[in-house]
Amino acid sequence: MQPTLDHLRRYAIARSLFTPTTLMRAIGKLGFVQADPIRAPARAQDLTLRHRVTGYRAGELERRYPRLALEEDFFVNYGFLPRAHHALMHPRQARVVWTPARWKQAHAVREFIAERGVVHPREVDAQFAHGKTTNWFGGSSNASTELLDGMHYRGLLRVARRDGGTRVYALRQGDATPVTAEVAQARLDALLDIIVGKYAPLPAASLGQLLGHLRSGVPQWQGLRADALKRARQRLGTVRVEGVDWFWPEGENPASARWKPDDAVRLLTPFDPVVWDRRRFEQFWGWAYRFEAYTPPAKRKLGYYALPLLWGEQVIGWGNLGVAGGQLQAQLGYVAGRAPRDAAFRRGLEDELARMRVFLGLDP
């Protein structure tokens, strides 16, 4: 049976919202988890994992990270990856070339961290007094912080843990030997398979877009991406539906009866793999979802941090959640203009809000 758009939608939901498991297994199945600092009512990484990890609580990833085989780093976006996936991107060559003077600073800082083991940016700043620099937003930040960011990106350091949200660094022990062209191709293929594995099924345009985002993770292989896309198109599962080419991991069948979403009600983060691809979102559900945290308040239509509201296999609305006086506050909106008049939906929504309270630590 050739997959239809309905098959692809069910496949996307059931494949991504798998049966909850352990934290490491969930991240392994996802391939990587996108991170975002906004809490509304929790960070994106926590809102993503709560649906996929048994008994997950807000902040658990950050608390357990130092003991897990994970790395923080750039991939197609910034987030958390299994260490094996992280190794595929290194040694990384940044697009911005450092001067000899900058490398001298980096080596001095690396020796300092080697002596200390684990270092907070303020310790580096106190030791070296690198001064101030202009950041991406036009403001002023410590030059030491920028240097540490650059060292982390180049694979000289790793994030050991977070202190109050601030990255604390240790040395990264990795192989700095440049890889051969054959190894680079194999690694690019593996990285692309991780991307497809997380966001499947992907429209062709989205597959190309995500491969473009991969320049954040492997800028040194930018010239190899076009060939990697050609190889992917040849080995991945594919179908043309309503004039659009779709792709998914080799060996899977989106039309299989095994891909059947449950009837639960779920509030998803804007960065959840089910809704991340806005192009696919509109094709599946017929309306445009927009992330409006950086939209001027007067121009917002859904809200500051609207969480898409999934019921079964349909995204029927959104919710803006917050905590006030120890109580969960929820403002819900619906594409149809009102909530479904269905007792099953009401029960499902009550269950989801109860799960959210437990996840946030508001209920035992």
Model confidence at 1, pLDDT cuts 50, 70, 90, reads: confident
Structural domain that includes position 140: 100-171
Average pLDDT for residues 269-281, to the nearest whole number? 97
Average pLDDT for residues 171-187, to the nearest whole number? 91
Task: Tell whether the model's pLDDT for residue 141 goes beyond 90.
Answer: no
In a domain, 297, yes or no: yes
Domain boundary residue, one of 121, 138, 171 = 171
Q: In the prediction, which pLDDT does 138 show?
A: 46
In a domain, 76, yes or no: no
Q: In the prediction, which pLDDT does 174 show?
A: 82
Structural tokens at position 39: 């809490």
Please answer whether residues 5 and 13 qualify as being in contact, where contact means their C-beta atoms are separated by less than 8 angstroms: no
* List of residues 6+ apart from 238 with CB closer than 8 A: 245, 246, 247, 248
In a domain, 364, yes or no: no
Q: In the prediction, which pLDDT does 135 show?
A: 44
In a domain, 322, yes or no: yes
In a domain, 48, yes or no: no
Model confidence at 128, pLDDT cuts 50, 70, 90, reads: confident
Please answer whether residues 9 and 310 qualify as being in contact, where contact means their C-beta atoms are separated by less than 8 angstroms: no
Could you report the per-residue pLDDT of 74-102, keeping only the tens digit for each?
999 999 999 999 999 999 999 999 999 99
Task: Tell whether the model's pLDDT for residue 139 goes beyond 50.
Answer: no
Rounded Cα distance between 275 and 114, Å, is: 42
Nearest CA among 156, 140, 141 for reference residue 94? 156
Model confidence at 344, pLDDT cuts 50, 70, 90, reads: very high
In a domain, 59, yes or no: no
When mean pLDDT is compared across 174-188, 251-265, 320-334, the lowest value belongs to 174-188
Please answer whether residues 247 and 232 qualify as being in contact, where contact means their C-beta atoms are separated by less than 8 angstroms: yes
The count of domains in the chain is: 2
Domain boundary residue, one of 118, 150, 171 = 171
Q: 175-181 — which CB contacts under 8 Å span 24+ positions? A: 175/90, 175/91, 176/91, 177/91, 178/91, 179/91, 181/224
Task: Tell whether the model's pLDDT for residue 110 goes beyond 90.
Answer: yes
Task: Tell whether the model's pLDDT for residue 131 goes beyond 60.
Answer: no
Rounded Cα distance between 12 and 275, Å, is: 10
Rounded Cα distance between 106 and 148, Å, is: 8
Could you report the per-residue pLDDT of 15-51, keeping only the tens digit for each?
999 999 999 999 999 999 999 999 999 999 999 999 9
Nearest CA among 206, 204, 199, 213 for reference residue 233? 204
Per DSSP, helices labelled H in the chain are 5-16, 23-30, 44-49, 60-64, 83-87, 100-116, 121-128, 143-153, 181-199, 204-213, 225-235, 278-285, 343-359
In a domain, 206, yes or no: no
CATH number at residue 162: 1.10.10.10
More confident residue, 350 or 134: 350
In a domain, 342, yes or no: yes
Rounded Cα distance between 344 and 314, Å, is: 14
Domain boundary residue, one of 148, 171, 194 = 171
Concatenated DSSP letters of 185-200: HHHHHHHHHHHHHHH-
Half-sphere exposure of 217 (CA within 13 A, CB side): 31
Q: What predicted TM-score, i.e. pTM, was given to this entire model?
A: 0.93
